Amino acid sequence: MDLKTSVLIVSAHGRGHWLAAELHREAIPVVLIDVSPKLGVWPPEDLEGPFGFFKPDELTGSQSDRVFSEDSFESLDRGFTAWLSEGPVEMKSSTTQYRLEKLGQSKEVYETLISSKLSGKNVPAVQKFAADNFERSWLLHLAHQFASTTYVPNARASLSGKALRLMNPFFVRQATRAGQQKMNAWLSSKGVEVMQKTDILDLSFQNKKNISGVELQGETSGVMHLQQIVWMLTSEETYFASPKVAKYLFPEGELEPEWCWVRYRLNLEACQERNSLPLHLLVTENVAGPWTHQNMMVLQRTALEGHFDAWIRIPNVQRFNKEYLRIRGDKVLEIISGRMPLAMPTIQTFPQEFYYTYSQIGPAALPVFAENLESRRHKVNFNNLHKDGSEIWTNYSWEDQFENQTEIRDSLLKWWKMLQLRKEKERRD
């Protein structure tokens, strides 16, 4: 069966929902193929990640609609919180500036992290100052590195990527499968055609620089003819889900991450310290030490009383090493026991990689890549191919994802308008 669309979006885990809705709103024929089932069965919590939602100053109506299309967010009145060895520091409390001054953070760093100034002319100078004065600027480095898709040693973190808006309103949510269903229902309500349980077997080409179609098999089978394609999987995800297609889109091979985030489920006994914990906090023992393993741990409440998720960043090559995961789990418990002795923390479940193999769950849900790979990560081999996903994003914030997809949308809108003008001219001639 021959199928046809102007724009085909290949997406997983909701990545392409906003873009698909935007293109449909502009009357551009669009089809979204959801290949989530091909990437293993992940709990919603692992796909949500530990980064929360820092609300941007400028969020369009459609972007806000997409963000809140899943499970409900809860606002943290005191904002993002970092629990240091010197005690907690909250980013939206009446004592924020005082606490940061006591921790040696410069006034310039504080002012730069106030969202309206993140893109100001003084930012490069502050970044240079931060690179030369880590002790007085570690918070700016943290803003760049916490949710980054590229690992950079903390002393240089401010010189790469983008800073999270740590001083902005901060929200977290308990991700559920019901929320995922709501997200898919939201896209359907926008009128977008979505294909699921459909494998992508092969590509066809108009010439060496343009893709003309994809061969599908499953609930929908046949050749889908297209004019533009948006690919939202990483190279590793593509090789895992569709190796034949991957050889065309990523001829250099799959790019394996250097690090990845993994999630432990903990139980903490009731005590004053546990009961006073916010919904989400970043725990670090030594801000000057490497921001990996238990030295950059996110502790987040779950819907179950006494149960918390503990996220840490580990080497990707150790994902399926059970002994390594046990050792790291013990280190996590040591940190929490040191902060809250009466909580008597225990591990309820290890990361998913402890129970499954690579063939069952595939690439890491939240990969972090090595430095100096930007040219390879952004390489595009076809004129009508647009890439999105964690290899393209600077960080895992909603803001950065929307920024990249806005560029894709604008590029496709420009192409569409030119196409319509050309067709109109041909009709007149």
- Kindly list the domain boundaries of the chain, sorted by start residue: 2-46+176-254+370-428, 94-167, 258-361
pLDDT at 109: 84
Of the chain, the percentage scoring pLDDT greater than 90 comes to 86
Residue 225: its pLDDT value, please?
A: 97
CATH topology of domain 2-46+176-254+370-428: FAD/NAD(P)-binding domain (3.50.50)
Q: What is the pLDDT of residue 428?
A: 82
Burial of residue 185 (number of CB atoms within 10 Å: 0-12, 13-18, 19+): exposed
Residue pair 28/228 in contact by the 8 Å Cβ criterion: no
Determine the Cα–Cα distance for residues 290 and 153; give it in Å rounded to an integer: 7
Instruction: Characterize the bridge pairing of strands 307-315 and 346-349.
Output: unpaired
At 304, phi and psi to the nearest 5?
Answer: -95, 130
State the chain's mean pLDDT as an integer.
94
Is the per-residue pLDDT at 355 higher than 70? Answer: yes
Q: What is the mean pLDDT of residues 237-244?
A: 97
Would you state the pLDDT for residue 236? 98
> 242: closest CA among 215, 221, 210, 260?
215
d(CA 122, CA 177): 44
Tell me the average pLDDT across 303-310: 96
pLDDT tens-place string over residues 114-148: 755 555 555 677 777 777 789 989 999 999 999 99
**pLDDT at 214 exceeding the cut of 60:** yes
| Residue 58 pLDDT | 87
Give the predicted TM-score (pTM) of the model. Answer: 0.94
pLDDT at 293 over 70: yes
What is the pLDDT at residue 118? 58
Query: How do residues 370-420 score in pLDDT, each as one tens digit?
Result: 999 988 999 999 999 999 999 999 999 999 999 999 999 999 999 999 999
For residue range 166-199, list pLDDT tens digits in order.
999 999 999 999 999 999 999 999 999 999 999 9
Dump pLDDT digits (tens) for 266-279: 999 999 999 999 99
Percent of residues, the chain, with pLDDT higher than 70: 98
Summarize the confidence of residues 97-118 as an average pLDDT.
82
pLDDT band at 427 (very low <50, low <70, confident <90, very high): confident
Is the pLDDT at 312 greater than 80, yes or no? yes
Across the range 254-260, mean pLDDT stands at 97
Q: Which of 125-139, 208-222, 321-335 has the lowest mean pLDDT?
A: 125-139
Could you say which DSSP state residue 393 is in? Answer: -
